[in-house]
Chains A and B, each alone.
Chain A
Amino acid sequence: MIRFVDTTKVYSNGVVGIKNLTLRIEKGEFVFVIGASGSGKSTFLKLIMHEETPTEGEVYVNGYSVHNMPKSEVPYLRRSLGVVFQDFRLLPNKTAYDNVAFAMQIVEALPREIRRQVPLALGLVGLSKKARAYPGQLSGGEQQRIVLARALVNNPAVLIADEPTGNLDPKTSLEIMELLDEINQRGTTVIVATHEKSIVDTMKKRVITLDRGELVSDVQKGLYTNEN
Chain B
Amino acid sequence: MKIRTLRLLAKEGTANVYKNKLMSFASLITIMTTLFVLGLVLLVIVNVISNLEAKKQDLQVKFYLRVDASRLEQEEVAMFIENSRASGVVSEYQYESREQAYENAKKDLKHESLMEGLTPDNFAEGYFVSLTDPNDSDQFIAKLKLLSGIDNQWITYPKDELERITGVVRVFNYAAIFVLAVLMIISVLLISNTIRLTVFARRKEIEIMKYVGANDWFIRFPFIIEGMIIGLLGALLSHLLTSQTYGWIKDGLNNLFNSIRISDLQLIEFDQFAIRILVVYIIFGTTIGIIGSLMSVKKHLNV
* Chain A residues with a Cβ under 8 A of chain B: 49, 51, 72, 75-79, 81, 83, 85, 89-93, 102-103, 105-108, 111, 150
Q: Contacting A75 at CB < 8 Å: which of B8, B19, B213?
A: B213
A91 to B215, CA, bound (A): 17
Q: Is B208 an interface residue (CB 8 A)?
A: yes
Using Cβ atoms and an 8 Å threshold, which residues of chain A touch B212?
Answer: 78-79, 83, 102-103, 106, 150
Interface mask (B247-289 → A, CB under 8 Å = 1, otherwise 0): 0000000000000000000000000000000000000000000
Interface residues of B (CB under 8 A from A): 1-2, 4-5, 8, 19, 204-205, 207-215, 218, 303
Known: A72-B215, A78-B210, A78-B211. 11 other contacts (CB 8 A): A51-B303, A75-B213, A75-B214, A79-B213, A83-B211, A83-B212, A91-B205, A92-B205, A93-B19, A93-B205, A106-B212
> Count the A-B residue pairs with Cβ separation under 8 angstroms: how many?
50
Bound Cα distance from A92 to B8, whole angstroms: 18
Are the C-beta atoms of A105 and B5 separated by less than 8 Å? yes
Closest to A105 in B: B8
A151 closest partner in B (C-beta): B212
Q: Which residues on A sit within 8 Å (CB–CB) of B211?
A: 49, 51, 78, 83, 85, 89
List of B residues within 8 angstroms of A150 by Cβ:
212
B303 pairs with A75, CB closer than 8 A: no
Residue of A nearest to B20 (CB): A93
Q: A108 contacts B303, CB within 8 Å?
A: no
Q: Are A89 and B204 touching (Cβ within 8 A)?
A: yes
Distance (whole angstroms) from the CB of A146 to the closest CB of chain B: 12
B222 to chain A, nearest CB (A): 11
In the bound complex, residues from chain A placing their C-beta under 8 Å from that of B204 are 89
- A89 to B204: give the CA distance in the assembly, Å: 8
Residues in B neighbouring A81, C-beta threshold 8 A? 213
What residue in chain B is nearest A78 (Cβ atoms)? Answer: B213
Contact A107-B213, Cβ < 8 Å, known A51-B303, A93-B19: yes
Give min CB distance, B199 to chain A, whole Å: 14
Enumerate chain A residues within 8 angstroms of B215, measured Cβ to Cβ: 72, 75, 106
- Which residue among A49, A79, A106 has the maximum number of chain B CB atoms within 10 Å of its CB? A106
Query: What are 21 A-to-B residue pairs whose CB atoms are below 8 Å?
Result: A49-B211, A51-B211, A51-B303, A75-B210, A75-B213, A75-B215, A77-B213, A78-B213, A83-B212, A89-B211, A90-B208, A92-B205, A103-B213, A105-B5, A106-B209, A106-B212, A106-B213, A106-B215, A107-B213, A108-B4, A150-B212
Q: Return chain A residues, CB-CB under 8 Å to B213.
A: 75-79, 81, 103, 106-107
Question: In the complex, are the beta carbons of B1 and A108 less than 8 A apart?
Answer: yes
Bound-complex Cα distance A79 to B210 (A):
10
The CA of A85 and the CA of B218, in the complex, are separated in Å by 22
